[in-house]
Structure 1
């Protein structure tokens, strides 16, 4: 479901003049970003709100807490192994779940006119409380409607249920991700990489300026 992560921009009509450049991005108006992940039933199970609209999705993801547990080695106990063409499967699955989060944004805005139109509040914390309350109410509605949909569903008991063997061992890819993530967050490693890059660029182009 991480493929369903996406960002929504909430226009900030009364953004202070001193902050307008910082909060203005590709929308060409001051906005505040909501990062969210939604499941197929439009349940929003991760939300991160409050970053300025001038940031791109990569910068938002870097500041989000979505990978904190994974970086610390905490995650779901069950991990599945996908056989076959992994790249094709992932691309197809990502395209499908990306539509889910976009639909969730649309439903959220259609239910709550306050987050559909530009915000007229001055205080950023007030806007955060409003967005959080709307997401909680949205999930409550989804959970309530989910039980109604399940009552009308009929399952074919003759279809064989595939047996899936979970793999609880930590994969090498996960270990590499945790290691790289910690290195990126380490200040000494950051400054060392920065100095190495400066030295590399000087060796390549410094002689041209002499």
Structure 2
């Protein structure tokens, strides 16, 4: 389910992220507890975090899919977000500096768009847990509350 219809992610990418996370934070490594039982596998912890983020579901819903308690799922997601920030933040989550902007503008100029840094894309995302008092303000395509997500990406998918 993970690699086919669940997250639409190649197994190699999942394994790459898993290895990076396990090598960076001991929380995700498999350990033996006091009664000589193995704790949760790193695969299960990563799957739980991905499941909550991709499906926008609550922590207690991971119990059905991953067999994790709500408190464990929340703790797991917090660790996951901190590790992702620590590992990939400097590369993928930083603002472009002057040199980066110059490079993006040169590339866009060569493609015939002289002042364009990237392309903007918008998507309506259904807001399942929208507060009832706000629902009327956020009515979308199908009379359901939606939020418009906007993302700008450069030619090399720098978002």
TM-score where L is the length of structure 1: 0.22
TM-score, L = length of structure 2: 0.26
Larger radius of gyration between Structure 1 and Structure 2 = 1
